[in-house]
Structure 1
Amino acid sequence: MQLMVFTDLDGTLLDHESYSSADAAPALALLKSLNVPVVLASSKTAAEIAPLQAELGLSEWPAIVENGATTLEPGADTVDDRDAYEALRAALREIPADLRRMFRGFGDMGVDEIMRHTKLDFEAAARAGDRSHSEPGLWSGTDEDEASFLAALATHGVAARRGGRFLTLSFGGTKAGAMAGIITKYQPARTLALGDAPNDTEMLELADFGVIVRNDHGPGIPELPGEKNGSIRRTELAGPAGWNKAVLDVVQELKLQESA
């Protein structure tokens, strides 16, 4: 296995507004022809990821779901254990009310509200609400209040990750941690990781090639040390168009087509 690709979805492989991967189709097709695995890594649930894997022809590979809180095994379509999610909701009930009301998680929303905030259709929004290990939500307070909120959650063992849209709570686990386990299992010669948000940073730094995909709608990623030595680069094009060019560039640099 000469290369394994790890990629975020929203704002990276998928367009921020339309959720389409059409602009990345040439690179996806090339990777498929070269038998290069593409591992999806997202805050999305297993119920969301499995249909997308099938649509993209990636079901033979694992996927990192719920921000690294768990991994979807190849060919599986769900994660049945919801104990961690129920424990997260219980921890939220222990937070002081003045802080708790500033966080509105998916568990506080019905499907209609999830649709409004994500612009997903009803079926997709229902899958997004089918959580097993993490709780994304919207924060409406100040940065100072958020620090107090997170400190209160930490006493219950709950950590938070900031993505492109949501603040996501879990009992730990990161995309990079799950990525490391997959690398150990498959032993690729090189790895490429692509992402657009702060919760992708460790994944980008772990890879041999890290790509920060331009997303004008999110918080972005501050300059990383790897950008100075060339192990991390940024795209000029946004979303899947930027993803496409970056992947094609790396394939060319590694001369994978020639070796094939």
Structure 2
Amino acid sequence: MKTRLNHKHEKTKGGNKMDVQAIAHRGYSAKYPENTLAAYEASIDLGFSHIEVDVHLSRDEVPVIMHDKTVDRTTNGTGLINAYTLKELRRLKTSGNERIPTLEEVLDLAKGRVKVAIELKQIENMYPRLERKVAALIEEKGMANDVYVNSFNHESMKTLREVAPDLEIGLIKSDASPALFPYMEQIQASSIAMELRFYTEAFADQCKERGYQLIVWPIDTKEACERMAKRPGVLCTVNELELFKENYHA
């Protein structure tokens, strides 16, 4: 499957071209409460081409945005996300008095403005219908060309491929290697995300040869920006958005 992830995004907001070809990790998470609408809006305002979201299901099976499987770290609540209905999650507050957004809200915010990197937080099989719910929402919103979906749970991506043959999907593995290529071919994945500390030029070359989009995280120092600017075909995942804009010159 040909990747669309790194295509230039020409949509505008207030006349400003989305000119920073990189992924804002959980939005502008270094400055705003992570995975909130405020963080995503800030990253769009800075011109980033992609925003990254982490998706779980509420007890009533609504796709909601949060990194952890519990609400403890980022809200004033406690317990597992799937112990709460959406209505109950709405009552919780993050720092900055923000609330937990739904995937639908983030897709509405992003539509026609930026691409959305959707990470499914499928922990073992905690959410049996997560893949179906997310695929159905993307189809309902008509945003199949504006998103890609990936996960550390590679079986989850196989399931997603079965229910959504045309969605762009990818794998996440900190120490990704060519050993993943046969599985990627099997499920028609088009991207692979890995940690910077395991990144090598040789692996970048191998991904390029096979037509896979390589994604590397975190690119949050001047040195990392300068290093990755030498490989503009690699998509960077970023927390320190303003630092990246100042120091990444491909």
TM-score normalized by structure 2? 0.34
Greater RCO between the two (CA within 8 Å, min separation 6)?
1
Higher helix share: 1
Instruction: Indicate the structure (1 or 2) with the bigger Cα radius of gyration.
Output: 1
